[in-house]
Amino acid sequence: MSISKKDISKVIAKETRLSNFQSKKFLDFFIHIVKVNSDKKFVKIHNFGVFGSKYTTKRTGRNPATSEIYPIKSFKKITFKASSKVKSIIN
């Protein structure tokens, strides 16, 4: 089961007594801050985790249906490492 941005913004609205519009704007702004800043440095949220970015290496891929080999370019992706507190809650 997954949770969507809409679900998260509804919970924010309910718990903080913000309107649905305000909670959606808050969530969008938070995601924007993480995206922009994780490109340059780590974004650490105490007792939650650390967002960052890293480059994947160039590699070759293969289509399992046709066995066709093709190159996969290097690209940047956002990473997340959960804090020990979050890990202990999950486990």
pLDDT confidence band for 32 (50 / 70 / 90): very high
C-alpha span between 60 and 71 (Å, rounded): 4
Stretch 30-52: mean pLDDT:
90
What does the mean pLDDT of the chain come to? 92
* pLDDT for residue 36: 87
pLDDT confidence band for 1 (50 / 70 / 90): confident
C-alpha span between 17 and 30 (Å, rounded): 18
- Which domains, and CATH codes, for the chain? 5-90 (4.10.520.10)
CB 56 within 8 A of CB 43: no
